[in-house]
Chains A and B, each alone.
Chain A
Amino acid sequence: MSILEVSRIAKNFGGVAALSDGNLVCREGRITGLLGANGSGKSTISKIIAGVYRADSGEIRYRNAIARYRNPNEAKKDGIAMVYQNLSLVADLKVWQNIVLGDEAKKGPILDNRSARRLAAGLVERLLPGLDVERMTYDLTPGEMQIVEIAKALAADPKLLILDEPTSALEKAEVLSLFAFMRSLTEKGVAIIFTSHRLWEVIEICDDLTIFRNGRNVGSMDFDHDEKDTEKIVGYITGEAQKGNYRKACAEICGETLLSVKGLDYAPFLRDISFDLRKGEILGIGGLAGQGQRELMLALAGNYPGVSCEAAIDGRKLELTKPAKLIRENILLVPGDRELEGLFVKHSVFDNLVFPRMGLRGQSLFTPLDRYAKECEQIIDVLAIKASGLDVPVRTLSGGNQQKVVVGKWFPYKINVLLLADPAKGVDIGAKRDLYEYIVGRVRGEGMSVVLYASDIEELVEYCDRILIMYEGRVVAALEGDDINEDKIITTSMRVGQPARERAI
C-alpha cells in the first residue's frame, strides 16, 4: 500500500518553474526510482517531500495524513529522512559522533557513548564492513563520507528514506553493498526514493520508476509488469528524439590547432584530460552535472596552481598556474558564478568593465577615465546592455545584463580563447540569444576560439562544433557532426550501452 502520495506539486524559484506538475507515489517496502535530466525537477520534488522547500501548490499525503513540513527536522520526526547531495557531516568529529549527531543517546545528562558507538558501528557494519567508526571524518574518502551520511539518515530509523544521488561518489563495490542494504531495509517495510544518473543502477535496484522532464512527471513504470526497457526510459528522459541535425564537419570551418592540452590532471576532480582546440572552433563540454566541467574551466583559466598538465598555445609552452599568465595569453574566463567570481556586484558598471585593464602591463600612471568611458559606452552599445548609466551598481542589473558585463569586460582584448562556464545560467531567452550572437560573431569574424560548458544541452547542440563528454573527471567521448544531438549527448553522458558491470570505477 502507498505510504506517500504526492500530487500536482508546483514550485517556482524567482519566477522560474522548477516543478509545474509533480506527481509521485511510493509504496511500503519498495524502491521508487526518480530519473530525469539536469533541472527536470526530481531533486526539487525530493526536497519538498523532505521539508527543505515548501511547495507553492499541490498536496502531499504521507501515511494517510496531509503533510506540511516547515523544516527537515519536522519531516525527520515523522520518519522521513533524506540523504543530501551536499553532505552534512562535521569533518572534525569521529565517524560515530557524526552518525548520532544531534540525537545523541544519553543516560541522564551524560552522553551514552557506548550505545552510540554500538548503534553507529552496527549501521556501518552493514553498509561498509571494515570502516572503523573511530576514524576522523576528515580522513575519509568521498565515498566513505557518503556512506557515513547514509548511516546518519538511518540512525533516525526512517519509514521513508530519500536518497538523492547517493552513488555519485561511490565505487562499484560500495554501490552493490549499498543496494544489498537497501533491499534489507525494504524487507522491513521501509519505502525508498532513489535518485541516480546511472541508468544501470536504477534498472538494477528499483521496483518502480518515475521519470521527470521539464518540471513534470512524464512517465512511470512498474517493473513488476513492465519490462526494463532502456530505450523506452531514455525516450521518456529526452522527450522527442531529435535526429538528423545537419552540421558542418569541424575540419571545414576550423583552422589549425591553437590550444593543445595534454594529460591535465587535478585529482580528484580532473583525470588525464587531453584535447586540441582549433582556431575558430567552439568546443562544447557536456555531461551530467558535477563531472568536473566547472573544475576544467577553472583549471584552464589558471585557478588551480597545483594542476599538472602539458599545455601549449600556438606551439609555445603554456603554464596553467596563475590567471594573470593566461590573461596575458588572451585566454579569458567568463566564470559560472558571476556574483562570486565574475563581478564586483556593489561597484558600478564602469568599474566592472574597466577593472581588468588595470592588471595589464604598460598602464599609464593616471587612469585615462575619459577614454575608458568612451570604450565602455561602446561595449554597452555592442552588447545591448540595459543599464540606466555607467555609474549604477552592477547588482541592480538583471541577471542577463550582469552576464553581459562579465563578457564585456574582456571586450577590448584580442581574445584567443574564451572560456565560457555556463554563461547563460539564469539568463532569459532574449539576453541569452544576444550573448551567443555576439560570441558567435566574434568566432566567425576574427577566428576566436571558445570552450563552452553549458548545463543546458540545447545550447551545446546549437552552438558547438565538437562536444567532449565528461564523466567522473575524465573525457569519455568526443561528439562531432551528426552525433551532436540531444539524444546522443544524453545517452553518452549517462553511459548507456556501456557494460554496466565494469563501469563505476
Chain B
Amino acid sequence: MNSGRRDAGAPDLRRLFARPEFSSLLILVLMVALTAILQSNFFETKSINRNINAFAPLVLMTMGQAVVILAGGIDLSVGPALSLLTCVLTFVMKRSDPSSGMAALAIGLAVALLLGLINGIGIGYLRIPPVIATFATSFIWLGVALFLRPTPGGESVDWFSAFYNFGDVPGASPAVKAIGTVLPPALLLVLVGCAFWFAISKTRTGRHIYAVGGNSDSAYNSGIDTAKVQTLACMINSVFIFLAALFFVGQTGSGDARMGDPFTLRAIAAAVVGGIALSGGRGNVYFALIGALILSLVNKIIFFANIPYAYQTLVGGAIVIVAIASSRANTMYNKRIKTRESIPG
C-alpha cells in the first residue's frame, strides 16, 4: 500500500536513481566495461579466476570495515590486524605436522576475535573515539606482529594452500585439480563472509548495529546496550579479517608483519565508494563489496591503460575521489528531494 507516498507513479525512476547504491552499481558496470575493452581476455575463466584472487582480500576487508562503520565507528587497525593474523597462523603451524593447521585455525580465529574485542571495549565501554582507539591498537597489533615475525617468513602446513587453490595441495586427485582451475577458494571465502553477514543481519544484533550507528542516543533510550553492539560489530569485522588472512597464508605460506598496511585506508575508501555513510547507520554491506570491486578495477584500468608508472598513484587517487564524490552528490540529491517534499503547502 503506497498511500503514504507523496509521489506515486512516474517519479519511481527518480527514486531508483536516488538510491545511494545506484551510483555505485552504475560505476561498477562502467568499470567492468572499460576493463573489458582494455583487457581482451577479461572474460576468460583463467583471467576471471586471477581477478577473483586479486580482489577477494580487499572485498573481505571492506565488508568487515563496513560493519564497523555502520555501527557508528571506524577501524584503523584492520591492516595491522591482517598482518598479525598471518604471523600468528604461520607461527602456530609446523610443516611437518599437518594437524597443526587445525590448531592454527582455532587459535587464529580466537586471536582475531580478541583483537575485535579489545577494539570494541575501547570504543564501546571506555568511550574512546574510534579513530583514536583503533589508531592506537594498530600500533600494538603491528608491534606484536613484528615480535612474532621480524622478517617475512614462517611455514605452513601443505593443505593450507587449499585456501588459495585446491589444485596446489600436494597429492590432490586430478578431479580436485580440475575443480581448482574453475573454482577459486577466494570466491568461497567471500561467499562464507556474505553468508556470515546474512545470518547476522537476521538477528537483533544486525538491526541494532544500524540503530546504534544511526542515532546512538535514540538506540540507548530504546533499551539497546550500545556498548555491546559496538563491541560485537568490531568482532564481526574480526571474522572478515580472519578470512582474508586465511587467503594470504594459503597463497604465500608465510607471515609478514607489514603486508596488511595498505588495506586499512583502501578498505575505508572502498566502503565509502560502496555507499556506506561514514556517519554511520546508513548503507549496505553487500554494496560495500561492490565498492571494493570498483576500487580494485581502478588499479587494473590504470595498469592496462599504459599510464606511466609515475602517474599511476595520482590517477588512482583522482578516480577514488570522483567515485566518492559521485556517491556524495547522490546523497545530496537525495536530501534535496527530501527537503522539497517536507516543505508543507
Residue numbers of A with Cβ under 8 A of B are 72-73, 76, 84, 87-93, 97, 101-104, 106, 109-111, 130-132, 135, 138-139, 141, 152, 267-268
* Cα distance A282–B105 in the bound complex, in angstroms: 76
> Which residues of B are found within 8 Å of A267, using beta-carbon distances?
343-344
A267 (CB) vs chain B CBs: closest residue: B343
A219 and B203 alpha carbons, distance in the complex (Å): 50
**Cβ distance A72 to chain B, nearest Cβ, rounded Å:** 7
Q: Does B258 contact A (CB under 8 A)?
A: no
Residues of A with C-beta under 8 A to B213: 92
Q: Which of the candidate stretches B142-150, B164-172, B215-223, B297-305 sits at the interface with the other chain?
A: B215-223
Having A93-B207, A101-B222, A132-B4, one finds 5 other A-B pairs with CB under 8 Å, namely A91-B214, A101-B219, A102-B223, A106-B203, A141-B342
Contact B210 A88 (CB under 8 A): no
Given contacts A88-B218, A103-B223, A104-B204, contact A132 B1 (CB under 8 A): yes
Answer yes or no: B224 CB below 8 A from chain A CBs.
Answer: yes
Chain B contacts for A104, CB-based, 8 A: 204, 207
**Nearest chain-B residue to A110 (Cβ)?**
B202
**B221 and A90: CB pair below 8 A?**
no
Residues of A within 8 A of B206 (CB): 111
Chain B residues closer than 8 Å to A102, beta-carbon distance: 208, 211, 219, 222-224
Contact of A90 among B2, B204, B210 (CB under 8 A): B210
Closest 4 CB pairs between A and B?
A102-B222, A102-B223, A132-B4, A92-B214
Within the complex, which residue of B4, B224, B338 is in contact with A138, where a contact is CB–CB below 8 Å? B338
- CB of B281 within 8 A of CB of A92, answer yes
Is B4 in contact with A130, judged by CB distance below 8 angstroms?
A: yes
Which B1-55 residues have C-beta < 8 A from chain A? 1-5
Structural contact, A130 and B3, CB atoms closer than 8 A: yes
| A140 vs chain B, min Cβ distance (A) | 9
The residue in chain A whose Cβ has the minimal distance to the Cβ of B6 is A139
Number of residues on chain B facing chain A (CB within 8 A): 30
In the complex, how many angstroms separate the beta carbon of B222 from the nearest chain A beta carbon?
4
Query: Quick check: A92 and B210 within 8 Å, CB to CB?
Result: yes
Chain B, Cβ-Cβ closest to A72: B221
Complexed CA–CA distance, A268 and B5 (Å): 20
Chain B nearest Cβ from A134, distance in angstroms: 9
Across-interface contacts of B202 in A (CB, < 8 A): 110-111
Q: Is the CB of B210 within 8 A of A111?
A: no
User: Which of the residues B207, B210, B218, B344 comes within 8 Å of A89, measured between beta carbons?
Assistant: B218
Please state if B203 and A90 are interface contacts (CB–CB under 8 Å). Answer: no
Q: How far is B297's CA from A32's CA once the two chains are assembled, in angstroms?
A: 65
A138 and B282 alpha carbons, distance in the complex (Å): 12
Contacts of B211 in A (CB 8 A): 90, 93, 97, 101-102
Chain B's closest residue to A107 (CB) is B202
Q: How far is the CB of A144 from chain B (nearest CB, A)?
A: 8
Closest to A106 in B: B204
Closest-by-CB residue of A relative to B281 is: A92
Bound CA span A130–B4, Å:
6
| Complex Cα spacing A482 to B224, Å | 54
Find out whether the CB atom of B3 lies under 8 angstroms from the CB atom of A93.
no
CA distance A73 to B222 in the complex (A): 8
Cα separation A88 to B222 with both chains bound (whole Å): 7
Q: How far is the CB of A98 from chain B (nearest CB, A)?
A: 8
Cross-chain contact B215 with A97 (CB below 8 angstroms): no
B69 nearest CB across to chain A (Å): 13
Q: How far is the CA of A101 from the CA of B219 in the complex (A)?
A: 8
Minimum distance in angstroms from B70 CB to a CB of chain A = 10
Q: Is the CB of B342 within 8 A of A90?
A: no
In angstroms, Cα B218 to Cα A72, docked, is: 13
How many angstroms between the C-alpha atoms of A103 and B3 in the bound complex? 28
Give the residues in chain A near B217, CB-CB below 8 Å: 88
Contact indicator per residue, chain B 188-219, by CB within 8 Å of chain A (1) or not (0): 00000000000000111011101101110111
Alpha-carbon distance between A89 and B221 when the two chains are bound, in angstroms: 9
In the bound complex, what is the Cα–Cα distance between A132 and B8 (angstroms)?
Answer: 13
Task: Assess whether B203 is in contact with A110, with CB atoms less than 8 Å apart.
Answer: yes
Contacts of A76 in B (CB 8 A): 223
The residue that A139 contacts in the complex, of B1, B214, B222, B338, with Cβ under 8 A, is: B338
Contact status of A97 and B344, CB under 8 A, knowing A91-B214, A92-B281, A110-B202: no
Which chain B positions have C-beta within 8 A of A72? 221
Docked CA distance A102–B219 (Å): 7
A91 near B215: Cβ-Cβ < 8 Å: yes
* Bound: A110/B208 CA distance, A: 13
Measured CA separation A103–B213 after assembly (Å) = 18
CB contacts (< 8 Å) of B219 on chain A: these are 90, 101-102
Could you give, for residues 321-345 of chain B, a 1 whenever the CB lies within 8 Å of some chain A CB and a 0 otherwise? Answer: 0000000000000000010011110
Residues of B within 8 A of A106 (CB): 203-204
Chain A, Cβ-Cβ closest to B1? A132
Closest to B202 in A: A110
> Which one of A90, A131, A135, A141 lies within 8 Å of B214 (CB-CB)?
A90
Beta-carbon nearest neighbor of B2 in chain A: A132
CA A504 – CA B15 in complex, angstroms? 33
Contacts of A87 in B (CB 8 A): 218
A130 to B5, CA, bound (A): 10
CB pair B281 A73 closer than 8 Å:
no
* Of the residues A84, A111, A141, contact of B204 by C-beta under 8 Å: A111
Which residues of A have CB within 8 Å of B4?
130-132, 135
Within the complex, the shortest CB–CB distance from B223 to chain A, in Å, comes to 4
Say which residue of B204, B210, B221 sits within 8 Å of A93 (CB atoms).
B210
